[in-house]
Amino acid sequence: MKILLTGVTGYIAQRLLPVLLEEGHQVVCCVRDKSRFNQEKYNSTELTIIEADFLKPETLREIPDDIQAAYYLIHSMSTETGEFGEMEQTCAKNFSQRINQTTANQVVYLSGIVNSDDLSKHLESRKNVEDILSGNKFALTTLRAGIIVGSGSASFEIIRDLVEKLPVMITPRWLKTRCQPIAIRNVIEFLSRVLGKKETYNQSYDIGGPDILSYKEMLLHFAKIRGLKRHIIVVPLMTPKLSSYWLYFVTSTSYALAKNLVNSMKVEVICRPNKLAQLLNINLIDYDTAIKMAFGKIEQNQVVSSWKDAQTSGIISKGLSQYIEVPVNGCFKDIRTMQLKNSGHSLEKVWAIGGKTGWYYGNHLWKIRGFLDQLVGGVGMRRGRRSNSDIFPGDALDFWRVLLADKKEKRLLLYAEMKLPGEAWLEFKIDEKDLLTQTATFRPLGILGRLYWYAVLPFHGLIFKGMIKKISEENAA
């Protein structure tokens, strides 16, 4: 079957794509920026990549007319503008209009559980998108999920941050809200198995695991599995805004996403009964097993996708390619070189930089800079990295975004997503003579940007000098 897959750089689609290819489907992937997609890792002749932005109808002409089905996996909850509802409706309308012009007879949409009369802005937007996708030429199959548990998922990482960082938690009252979490493996099974199932056409289903738990119970179960003793005190005094800040500072989520999550967590998300799991022969995975499976992937360094890499940012919306050409004019630069004795070993160090590995020199200073960034609403250093060894364009890397990661060319280029009075790039490149060049570039914005550069210059001199020296050393990182 020829399938259109949207939201390809997102958490869910990255898990679904290899399953569709393994099942023998021909998959056409829609991406806003081809440079963010690593086609080589799939090694499939049945995979086609096209550039399309569903906010811009004129870009949708690339979608083939002869597709037979499509997955709609476009979500914008983490956008910094706060207008994700309007964006999602615009995307859905443009998608529907174009798919109506094709031969597609089914669209599969992953939504949220919307069984409450009092929906959050996030869940109301999901319902509005479902309404837009309904009543078209194609049949719509809607799968409504609540909390998704898996390595790299937003819910899993937030729970992990809370449990592993806080022995005692003073928490808002929404921790008493009940939900029905579902394992990411089950979500992918539902998505792949409803494809072509005519019994599911023009139907909607709530999908969840076998357990109904409060958020407090989810935290305590997680702690027990990790062998940690945790105390949770629920207080009624935390406002939604205060709760959002609490999540933002303790976990790796952005404030925009924290705010939307808090509003959603006040709504009970429990599945209405249905027989879809039996129809598709899916064995539902309980919450504790889902947590153990997620940690199995993390320990084996096999995290396929992370919600952090899909976070909406200015650089992602504009396209990575617009930032790859590092500017020269009007910029400050810190350029350092070092002759390498073992270039292969140093390249591995470059490829492992950030996250748990750290930055090889002055890690406490990097953390302070991240904390200061967080205080002014930036991403800070909390995002880490998806994999300890693999890195691809578009990946989040602490407060950087990976623009280019070419191991054959021995070049890694990062762009700063911290709050700055200007723009910053950090590049590592090893030439054919085994000379490592480390370049930090800053393009200031006005007088404030210039003052910032001179203020941090002493720290840059210390950190960048130490970093290149450590990368060039032959001993282990």
- Examine domains 2-299 and 313-472 and report if their fold is the same: no
Length reported for the chain: 477
| Tens-digit pLDDT profile for residues 164-174 | 888 888 877 77
Phi first, then psi, for residue 140 (nearest 5°) are: -110, 130
Q: Which residue type does 11 have?
A: Y
The architecture that CATH gives domain 2-299 is 3-Layer(aba) Sandwich (3.40)
Residue 311 has pLDDT above 60, yes or no: no
User: Measuring CA to CA, how many Å separate 147 from each of 336, 376, 411?
Assistant: 46, 29, 38
Q: Pick the residue with more confidence: 35 or 409?
A: 409
**pTM (whole model) above 0.85:** no
Tokens of 47: 């995979």
Residue 252, helix vs strand vs coil:
coil
Residue 282, helix vs strand vs coil:
coil
| Tens-digit pLDDT profile for residues 109-142 | 999 887 766 666 767 788 888 889 998 999 999 9
| Tens-digit pLDDT profile for residues 263-281 | 667 678 899 999 999 999 9
pLDDT at residue number 103 = 95
The architecture that CATH gives domain 313-472 is 2-Layer Sandwich (3.30)
Q: Which residues pair with 367 in a beta bridge?
A: none
| Tens-digit pLDDT profile for residues 423-465 | 999 999 999 999 999 999 999 988 999 999 999 998 888 999 9
- Torsion angle of C-alpha atoms 121, 90, 92, 110, degrees rounded to 10: -30
Segments making up each domain of the chain, as ranges: 2-299, 313-472
pLDDT at residue number 119 = 65
User: Measuring CA to CA, how many Å separate 271 from each of 131, 181, 205, 216, 275?
Assistant: 19, 10, 8, 19, 12
